[in-house]
Structure 1
């Protein structure tokens, strides 16, 4: 896939406080990419940098392989975004909000307004003032506005929080259809990997303003699956035995002494027996399954500062 937007060692400081410390990632054209991180990890700040709402203090962010950093002009032309909180005109109806937005860009089609509201489940509330809307309804209207001009790149900040399960499913299916049939590139942020693991293609893990890792959703699921933890005196020698004596290749070397084996088809005692037979000291062995926060904490400890 072609790189659609790229951040290279970008950083941002607000009021002398580092918000983003080292942002490096690539968003592939035509893909669905999710940024996953806990509260205050910097997700919203990352989206503001990637869409040109903020300019980085250091580093670079490029769009469509252009030279230089993304600007607000790039944002308005190429990007449909809903970032942070829904900002609407409370005294106007839902349809009037979309109409005003379309006028700003010199585009208006009554059928497009109707379709935009229908797409997010607000057709029956088209004439209601947004001051009467619940948070869920305001969020869905903000999503409709981000999608309204059919931009090639859509950015949504935590789109599922505050929506009930049916509404989440509806928005998720809408995004899948946009990506599948219109090849829209989609970037999402979320604190909960379960919200995106079944439809995002790639995931970036964010912690304390730093990108930890970017991988496919399949790879992340794999890393969070059950594994056998080994701590030995020499990991390199142990992996040689795993590969050659037991034909185990599905493992990850964490450091000089620690190995995670994801191929659990062999009994633990067989693995221990072979490794000890090879003259390697076995310090620790057990079955384990990580949750995302534990995995990110471990990854963060291995990241160079």
Structure 2
């Protein structure tokens, strides 16, 4: 039906009409991604179940042995960091999905269709952001069941979740770009060796001040640390701050870092797809 409508409006092409079809094409890509979850329930169980297992594992296995800054329950310090880690690990899901579609010829079929060039990239991003919302909802429910509470107020908690989604949003474009560069799904699995150290060398699990001096500086300036510290601050949970500028302005940097990454990687992802389309 979409092809017939395009033919009808072929003589009336304009900015508004192109924007309409770009949004329609983007939605079709999103709907395709969500339909795959319905037809492959084991995939969504794994993708949404892994964060729950991680929260329970780290919270109960390490929770009794660790002490947060200023004392208190380590789980109150840990769980916002686990939210951040889950958003960061989503980069691999995006990259693997993109490279799988490319290796199976799905991207080639999209390129052969009369659709907006940006729809595949934008649709992938919107689909992953919807999944990220589901992940955060499940994680928050699990954390509440474990006794975690957001004591900073409703508006501050909403701001913290917005920062988490902003981090995921920027990493989506990193994943899309890498997924279009990596030659095979097997090679994409190697991203774990990059993402895991990136989350470990941060304030997700421990304060940067507990690390060796040089490593603590690297961890403090890690964009993931800015989001972790900012969300703890907004949630009203224990904050790991040593008085450094980057940690004292964590909320600001939790916006600046993702904005900078998006400004670089979104055009790169779109340009890479357009080059493949030629």
Give the TM-score category using the shorter length: under 0.3
Q: Which is bigger in relative contact order (C-alpha 8 A, separation at least 6)?
A: 2
TM-score normalised to the size of structure 1?
0.24
Look at both structures and tell me which one has the larger radius of gyration over its CA atoms: 1
